[in-house]
Structure 1
């Protein structure tokens, strides 16, 4: 899909076909390790923002961007896909959202690579796009239920267990800030500092929001607190 930005040459967003790889946790990964790329076309050599002087070296936060946007995508694509999948719960949606986020990041690349943390900047793009997709899906399901309520009552075989369904439902019921902190900290495995940088909040707020989200989920899902659980302890 060729895309042209004023003042730059066109780029092509490629999503080659391939079998899904496993993330090792029972969750499918992107179609291929390099499935979603933004590749400058030959005519964009002079105008590709990922190859300007602003796109070389390292970002202020230490994220490596010295090889430009294509290398940045190669290094971080899997993480961005996992984040999209955590929010939407759907592998196909995660593929689409990751591709959209990479295109958005390329168009904003001079600004992205000058940010304190380019990776955190693109995580925010993924979160924004994923939340929009979730809201749109909810509206579509609500309309569908009004038209054909019996269609959603039939049981169909699938990979989800009742526990997974309950967890996804309760995650969506959490306030936005609590949900994002919980997903980034325990779903994506980011540190408190990385989560704070991604969401643009303080480390203290990350601790508070994560603790509240964990407590609320335990209460709603009736999950007992296991000895040695350090979810809400300082420094976790």
Structure 2
């Protein structure tokens, strides 16, 4: 039976990190409801192992579970999203859209592995080695996926480059 201190330790851990982890999950999967499901599933797995993991790095365990589950979902349920108009005409009407929405849309258009690498490396500010460990790939794969993902973002978001030049 779990003690109250274990339960309160777990609750405090979740309370302190849940918003940041939910943002990361959203950036990885691109859908708020899926992000909530992804984080909730990872928290359940962490809760089941809390007594063994809490003295180490429970956030690392949680992130690993969350990103690996996201990759598993992509593999099982990957489907193309039909669009009402070609991407060129969608991008043309974006002058009044805040840059973070443009970025979120561009991020959703990346392949899942590139998206996960970019979120882990640049949003969560993890090292290449830690990103590789979480995703279960090599450091070389992290480097190549980050390079390809950044190149694709530049193609999808030329207006962001223009905004940066204007200040």
Which consecutive residues of structure 1, in runs of 5 or more, have no partner in the other structure?
Answer: 1-8, 10-43, 53-66, 143-151, 156-160, 230-236
Equivalence for 1:83? 24
How many pairs does the alignment contain? 145
Q: Where in structure 2 are there 5+ consecutive unaligned residues?
A: 92-101
Which digits, 9 at most, give the CA deviation of each residue in 1:165-215, with x for residues without a partner? 55422x12x6x2x432211233x2x3343x633542787875554234212
Counterpart residue number, 2:98: none
CA distance in 2, matches of 1:77, 1:51: 18
CA deviations on 1:41-69 (whole Å, 9 max, x unpaired) are xxx43xx7x729xxxxxxxxxxxxxx621
The alignment's TM-score, normalised by the length of structure 2, stands at 0.63
Correspondence for 1:213:
149
- How much has 1:74 moved relative to structure 2? 0.8
Q: 1:110 to 1:205 in 2, by over 3 A?
A: farther
Task: Determine which structure has the larger helix proportion and give its number.
Answer: 2
Q: Tell me, in whole angstroms, the C-alpha distance in 2 between the residues paired with 1:209 and 1:154.
A: 29
Aligned to 1:92: 33
- Please identify runs of 4+ aligned residues in structure 1 that moved more than 4 A: 152-155, 161-167, 201-209, 224-227
Tell which structure's C-alpha radius of gyration is larger. Answer: 1
Whole-Å separation in 2 of the counterparts to 1:153 and 1:226: 25
SS class of match (2:37) = helix
